Structure 1
Amino acid sequence: MALLLLLLTALGLLAVGVTLPIVTVETLVLFSRPYSILDVTVSLFQGGEWLIAAIVGIFSLVLPAAKLLVMIALWARLRLGRDVPRRLLQGFEALARWSMLDVLAAALIVFALKSRALTDARFESGVYFFLASIATTALCSFLLKRRAEASEAA
C-alpha cells in the first residue's frame, strides 16, 4: 500500500510541477511573466515550433504521466499475485534517464535568458515539484522492480 501512496504522490507532484510556473522571465525590469512547462509547450505549438513543442510535451508531460499510470497498473497486478514482465521494468529504468532532459532544457533556457541584455530569469516553485516527481518516480520504479523480483523468486 505504501508503494501505491508513493505512486499517487509522484503523480500529484507531476501535475503540480507541470502547471506551476517553473521560470519567471523579466524584461526591462517592467515586464515579468511566469511560465509553466504546460505554458511553454502550448506557446511553442502556437508559435509554430511543433517539433520542439512535441519533444517538450512528450518528455515532460506524456511520458512521465504514462509511466506512472502503467506503474500503478503493474502495482495492482502484483497485488493480485500476478507476475510483472521483466522487460517492462527494465524499460522503466531506461526511461528514467530521459526524465532529466526537460530539467536540462529549463536550465538552458534560464541561462540563455540571463545572458541576454535587459532580460533576467529565475526558477520558480514548479521546478522543485517537478524534480520531486522525477525523484519519487525513480524511487517507485526501484521499489516496484524489487517487489516484482521478490514475487518472481517466490
Structure 2
Amino acid sequence: MKYIPKLSNNNLWRGSVGLFVLGIILPMFSFQKLLVLNETYSLLSGVFELLKEGEAILSLVVLSFSIILPAYKLYLSKRIIDGRVTDSEEALTLIRRLAIAGKWSMADVFVVSIIAATVKLGVFANVTVHVGLFVFGLAVLSSMWLTHRLMSGYALRPANEET
C-alpha cells in the first residue's frame, strides 16, 4: 500500500484561499433571456451588478456573507495555524471567533441558492452554470474541513455554563 502524506493545515489553508479567490472571480453562471440577451456573472461581478441595478442592500448582504465573512474566517484560520499566538486565552478567543464566523458564514447557503435559482429560472431564462460555481463550492467545503480540523479538541461552552 502506498503512503499518502497527511495534508497539513497550512497546505489546506493555502488550497482554500486559492479556491476561494478563483471561486469569486471565475464565471459562475450565464443568463440568456429571449435568445437575445446573454450575460455572464462571477460572484464578484454579480455583487457589482446588483449595486449598479440599485440593489444596494442585496449587494451588501451577498458581499458580506459570501465574500467578507468567508475571507475573515480564512484570516482567523491563518492566525491559528501560524502558531504565533502563545497565550492560551487569546487562542481560545480566536477559536470562538472562528466558530461564530463559521456559523454566520453563508457561503454554502449561497451556492445552494444559486443552484436552486438555476432550476427555477428555467421557465424565464436559460441559465448555464460555469466552473466558478463548482470552484466556489470546493472552497466552501475545504474551508469547512479546515475549520473542523482547527476546532477539534476544543470544547466550546457558553461562558456562564458550569463545567
TM-score by length of 2: 0.78
Compared CA separation, residues 47 and 30, structure 1 to 2 (3 A): closer
- Alignment partner, residue 157 of structure 2: none
Matched, 1:40 2:49: no
C-alpha separation in 2, matches of 1:109 and 1:21: 16
Q: Point out 4+ residue stretches in structure 1 off by more than 6 angstroms.
A: none
- Alignment partner, residue 132 of structure 2: 126
Compared CA separation, residues 89 and 62, structure 1 to 2 (3 A): closer
Give the CA deviation at 1:7. 0.6
Give the CA deviation at 1:69. 1.1
Question: Which structure 2 segments of 5+ residues have no match?
Answer: 1-6, 155-163
SS at match of 1:21: coil
- Alignment partner, residue 57 of structure 2: 51
RMSD of aligned C-alpha atoms?
A: 2.2
C-alpha separation in 1, matches of 2:87 and 2:141: 27
Asked if 2 retains the 8 angstrom alpha-carbon contact of 1:92 and 1:141, the reply is no
Asked if 1 retains the 8 angstrom alpha-carbon contact of 2:69 and 2:101, the reply is no
Give the CA deviation at 1:82. 4.5
Give the CA deviation at 1:81. 5.0
- Alignment partner, residue 136 of structure 1: 142
Structure having the larger proportion of residues in helix: 1
1:103 to 106, 111, 115: 111
SS at match of 1:24: strand
1:77 to 83, 86, 104: 83
Aligned partner letter, 1:94: K
How many residue pairs match? The answer is 145
